[in-house]
């Protein structure tokens, strides 16, 4: 039974890996082609491209981790495990923070507030996002340092140099869990705040339109709603991803079965794989290119059927 479930989870994992890399690779290719044609790339496209690249890296590392922890744990050495965990920490960090930056970009480009502080930030949205990414990079360095210390202590523990109940090991484990939780919780709160501000902005805009007797189906409302759909999809997927990681990390010493661990790992692939399709569907340029590819694929399959005797 366990072997059957392992095969099912592995198939699901590979399917999510292929679909996620297809969607993220599609975003990178379309934006790069457009960049070559126009000789420039908008801030939104820059964030989307960086986000897609970080997610390709994240999916690859997650697949390596799945192979090393579930399918063939004896093949991965302790040193390799350290490198995989550091690479996962970095790719997961950039994946979440680039998506958070996209939420902030939508907020400043679409929301309308009369606050002087908001207007100043709106005019300098590129600098704001750059400062946020640079600030998060300092947090990443600290996070990688904590992960490295914790993994090296585990290596010494496995080698028998220190006891399992060592106070230093317990402190390192708690520090790693705490930093990991904060590293994922902070961008989630920022994205949630962006979503709430978009709702407030939409509500004020609707109230203003009603007061002047205009219809509520103006382009500004449609833009608000489209941005909110993108942000809320990110929040829901990130929340599921965050909870899965938290359960895995905080319960790593008390997981009831290997089956539960495999289930958490499989759900962990959903966020970086599926959200990219939502981004494609919510972006006019990417959506048109995607539909064009689907149409050409459908036309090619039709020709292949006609040419088959």
What pLDDT score was predicted for residue 60? 92
What pLDDT score was predicted for residue 159? 58
Residue 188 CA to residue 159 CA, distance in Å, equals 38
Give me the domain span that covers residue 59.
Answer: 2-294
What number of other Cβ atoms are within 10 A of residue 140's Cβ? 18
Dihedral angle computed from the Cα positions of residues 58, 60, 66 and 71, in that order, rounded to the nearest 10 degrees:
180
Residue 50 CA to residue 215 CA, distance in Å, equals 38
Residue 52 CA to residue 269 CA, distance in Å, equals 14
Asked if residue 213 is part of any domain, the answer here is yes
Helices (H), 124-257: 125-159, 167-211, 219-250
CB 227 within 8 A of CB 110: yes
The pTM of this model reads 0.86
Helix, strand and coil content of the chain, in percent to the nearest 5, comes to 85, 0, 15
Asked if residue 302 is part of any domain, the answer here is no
Nearest to 184 by CA among 194, 196, 176: 176
Residues 6+ apart with CB under 8 A from 142: 179
Residues 6+ apart with CB under 8 A from 84: 61, 64, 65, 68, 76
CATH number at 261 reads 1.20.1070.10
Residue 179 CA to residue 272 CA, distance in Å, equals 21
What pLDDT score was predicted for residue 23? 93
Residue 293 CA to residue 32 CA, distance in Å, equals 16
What pLDDT score was predicted for residue 180? 82
Number of domains in the chain: 1
Asked if residue 104 is part of any domain, the answer here is yes
DSSP state of 160: T
Asked if residue 304 is part of any domain, the answer here is no
Helices 43-66/270-282 angle, 10° precision: 160
- Residue 192 dihedral angles phi and psi, to the nearest 5°: -65, -40
Residue 133 CA to residue 145 CA, distance in Å, equals 18
What pLDDT score was predicted for residue 255? 47
Asked if residue 81 is part of any domain, the answer here is yes
Residues of the chain with pLDDT under 70: 1-2, 73-75, 156-166, 210-220, 224, 248-259, 299-309
Nearest to 187 by CA among 117, 245, 147: 245
Asked if residue 194 is part of any domain, the answer here is yes
Residue 258 CA to residue 173 CA, distance in Å, equals 21
- Residue 269 dihedral angles phi and psi, to the nearest 5°: -80, -20
What number of other Cβ atoms are within 10 A of residue 204's Cβ? 14
Asked if residue 300 is part of any domain, the answer here is no
CA triple 82-86-91, angle to 5 deg: 145
């Amino acid at each position: 039974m366990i072997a059957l479930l392992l095969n099912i989870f592995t198939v699901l994992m590979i399917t999510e890996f292929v679909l996620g890399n297809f969607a993220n690779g599609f975003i990178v290719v379309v934006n790069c082609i457009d960049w070559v044609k126009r000789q420039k790339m908008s801030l939104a496209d820059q964030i989307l491209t960086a986000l897609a690249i970080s997610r390709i890296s994240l999916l690859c590392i997650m697949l390596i981790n799945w192979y090393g922890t579930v399918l063939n744990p004896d093949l991965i050495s302790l040193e390799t495990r350290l490198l995989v965990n550091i690479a996962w920490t970095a790719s997961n960090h950039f994946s979440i923070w680039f998506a958070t930056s996209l939420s902030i970009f939508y907020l400043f480009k679409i929301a309308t507030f009369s606050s002087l502080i908001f207007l100043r930030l709106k005019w300098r949205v590129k600098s704001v996002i750059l400062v946020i990414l640079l600030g998060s990079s300092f947090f990443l360095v600290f996070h990688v340092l904590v992960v490295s210390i914790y993994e090296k202590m585990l290596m010494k523990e496995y080698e028998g140099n220190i006891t399992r109940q060592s106070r230093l090991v317990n402190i390192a484990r708690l520090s790693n869990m705490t930093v990991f939780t904060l590293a994922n919780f902070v961008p989630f709160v920022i994205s949630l705040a962006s979503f709430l501000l978009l709702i407030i902005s939409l509500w004020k805009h609707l109230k203003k339109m009603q007061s002047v007797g205009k219809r509520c189906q103006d382009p500004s409302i449609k833009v608000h709603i489209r941005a909110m759909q993108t942000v809320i999809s990110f929040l829901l997927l990130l929340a599921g991803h965050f909870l899965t990681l938290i359960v895995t990390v905080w319960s790593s010493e008390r997981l009831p079965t290997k089956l539960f661990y495999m289930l958490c790992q499989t759900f962990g692939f959903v966020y970086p794989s599926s959200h990219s399709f939502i981004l494609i569907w919510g972006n006019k340029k990417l959506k048109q290119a995607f539909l064009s590819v689907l149409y050409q694929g459908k036309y090619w399959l039709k020709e292949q059927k006609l040419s088959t005797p």
